[in-house]
Amino acid sequence: MYCDALLMLLCALFPLVATAQFVSVQYKDGGQQLVSFYGKPEKPGNIQKGILILPAWMGISQHEKDVAKKLNGMGFHTLIADIYGEGKYPKNKKEAGEIAGFYKTHIDQYRHRIRLALDQLVNSGADNAHIVVIGYCFGGTGALEAARANMPVAGVVSFHGGLRRDDIREENQITPKILVLHGADDFFVTPKDIMDFQNEMRKAGADWQMNIYSNAVHAFTDPAVGSDKSTGAAYNAEADRKSWQDFLSFVKQLPGF
């Protein structure tokens, strides 16, 4: 009885709870409970480099955890961000579209949740001067929003993310370096979206690059989506491999990385 009571007390006092390789990081946005997942580097270097991972529209999945594990093995602190919060996780694609759509049209709230997660990554051990934000699909959109908001990060990487910006917002200078990894056959991103994004980057004076992979559609890095390109989302092993190497090359070229 005493041990059970002590365990309950410890859980109440400390927001970090071990879950396999990761530690759940619990924090709040007002009254909304958020639960992100922190991964510790297997062999930390002298610089505590961190990568914030923004999930796709279904929320935190095995895909993001697999990515975090690889990065932990390379010496990075990672945090997989909970954007939606407890009780708000989608049960199907319809709900995911509705919830993700809300954040895409309420960019300030999306940015706020990203910034809260960024703070948790720093609190967990990453050096706030050596952080990169990456995201997948909906999370790729979020990574670009982190750059547009000039969050204190060295760079951002969007894997098959949306490129559109909120047109009512003033276009400002962008400080973080940007890498966009895009499928050539992704029909969810129109040629106009690409042209508008590139023009935005030029006006913003951004240090940016965009890599486009042949025969790749949306979600090309996630094996769980299957291989049927006609659905608009399909895994492409070659594009996955190339985009991962391009991502790592981008990070290595950042100052201090």
Q: Kindly write down the DSSP assignment for every residue of 57-91, as one continuous string.
A: TT-S-HHHHHHHHHHHHTT-EEEE--SS-TT---S
Q: Is 34 helix (H, G, I), strand (E, B) or coil?
A: strand
- Kindly give the parts of the chain with pLDDT less than 50: 1-20
Tokens of 13: 């006092």
Per-residue pLDDT at 53: 99
pLDDT at 45: 86
**In the chain, domain spans:** 2-252
The reported pLDDT for the residue numbered 183 is 98
Can you give the pLDDT at residue 122?
A: 98
DSSP designation for 169: S
pTM of the predicted protein model:
0.91
Q: What is the pLDDT of residue 77?
A: 97
Q: HSE on the CB side for 168, CA within 13 Å?
A: 5
Q: What is the pLDDT of residue 12?
A: 40
Which superfamily does 2-252 belong to?
Answer: Alpha/Beta hydrolase fold, catalytic domain (3.40.50.1820)
Q: What is the pLDDT of residue 14?
A: 39
